[in-house]
A and B are shown apart, each in its own frame.
Chain A
Amino acid sequence: MKLVTAVIKPFVLEDVKNALEKLGVLGLTVTEVSGFGRQKGHTEVYRGAEYAVDFVPKIRVEVAVEDAVAERVVNAVVEAARTGKIGDGKVWVTGLETVVRVRTGERGSDAL
């Protein structure tokens, strides 16, 4: 099993979710996060005083999937999240040792 993690722009979340549903992904977890990459932050002005805001709000999407579909999931996320502008985010894949469904105690692929 693989854990696909994507940090994306907040407004593409809907597209990413739809793309994953189309692939048959049954669940995902979404978190609001802040950070910076090459996009850096932005500036805000309050009564003429300029502040540099270093961290940009992003959304982190996590999906646990079977090894066989991981590559397709990554491609779907990348396609749905791409605007072509700086700050589109990153997607990475890590291995998952164990997954347990809390309600039933099922393990491994059955728990996904």
Chain B
Amino acid sequence: MILIHKILITFTLLFSASIPTSAYSKQIIADLSKSNITITSGFHGVDLLLFGAVEGKPGDDILVVISGPPTDIAQRRKANRAGIWINVETNVWQEVPSLYTILTTSPINKIAKPETLFKLGIGAENMKLKLANRPELTKSGLVPKKLIAALKQNMNNLDLWSKDIGGVVVTKNVLFRAEVHLPANILSGAYDVRVLQFRDGIAISEDNTNLLIGKGGLSAKIYNFAHEHSALYGIFAILFAVASGWLAATAFRRA
């Protein structure tokens, strides 16, 4: 596999270097070792290699953003009531990325100013976060900072919104690679991968690629069956249990 990567990288490099710089050419080109991933039963997450070529200078930085399909998220707050900790408040975030991974060559504050990142729409701080249950707060832009910070913290604990500073490694200012780990709890759907090259705090080049995560194999069939024919699924689950219970009893009666 590694050999194939190396050949691919070499080809990409030769290809990009042989074409004279035009308005359409990019200074940065990236690809993934796998662009189609199937979640099957026993899925423990996946390790990918993001690699590419760049026309770089010493001091350049590369920043990668991988964002997953949007989802609604219920956020609950616990408080102490009569000695026990119970959920007292629920807020629903609308259409937030289910995964948001940032990989960089250097600390983010050294790569670009917050305003630059804001314009590029990079970072959890610059997501358009909407509260479904409190539209008035969303409109007035007064969504409590505490809620946003807690959301970031929770998603980070789930490995869904993570940062890997130094995760992108550049070799001789032309090749770069980053090991990407996607956790087991990712959703299926289309993932966007943005790869940006920064020089002196400005994004000078960008490449985009996609990653498709699908549900496959037996687990996908079972999942669809459970959701589309739920009554049949229930009856099947019961019959399955009765049959295996009977089987267990007879097997050990003889033993």
User: Do A and B bind?
Assistant: no
Q: Which B residues are within 8 Å of any A CB, using their own CB?
A: none
Q: Which A residues are within 8 Å of any B CB, using their own CB?
A: none
